[in-house]
Amino acid sequence: MTPYSVVNKKGKEIFTDITLHPGEVLMMELEAREIKKSAFAEQIGMRPSHLSELLHGKRSVSAATAIKLEKILGIDAAYWMRVQVYHDLFIERAKDSAAA
């Protein structure tokens, strides 16, 4: 079991066949808080086109961006990094499985 495992009632680790890109999570967060994307891009010092790429999974969350998200949204930077790493591993494992 990993430190950030999801387990069932019997303590067995649960795996899923889906993943969310951190940009998708961020988009849901912005919508829930009714924050306009253009205003948010300005707040974090990112061009609106780059934020759009992040929200649509075409750009990864960097450590620097994760820290900015933490400061503005109050969501731990480590959370954003874990979501990004999990997503990246999921995609690479899927490629590896397809090649096998």
Q: For the chain, which residues make up each domain, given as ranges?
A: 22-99
Domain at 22-99: CATH code: 1.10.260.40
- Taking residues 31-56, report their average pLDDT: 97
For residues 69 and 91, give the distance between their C-alpha atoms in angstroms, rounded to a whole number: 24
Tens of pLDDT, residue by residue over 54-66, are 999 999 999 999 9
For residues 56 and 41, give the distance between their C-alpha atoms in angstroms, rounded to a whole number: 14
pTM of the model: 0.81
| pLDDT of amino acid 81 | 96
The tokens 């731990």 sit on which residue? 76
State both tokens at 42: 């300005």
| pLDDT of amino acid 4 | 55
- Residue 1 pLDDT greater than 60, yes or no: no
Q: Which residue has the higher pLDDT, 2 or 57?
A: 57
CA pseudo-torsion sign 67, 40, 49, 94: positive
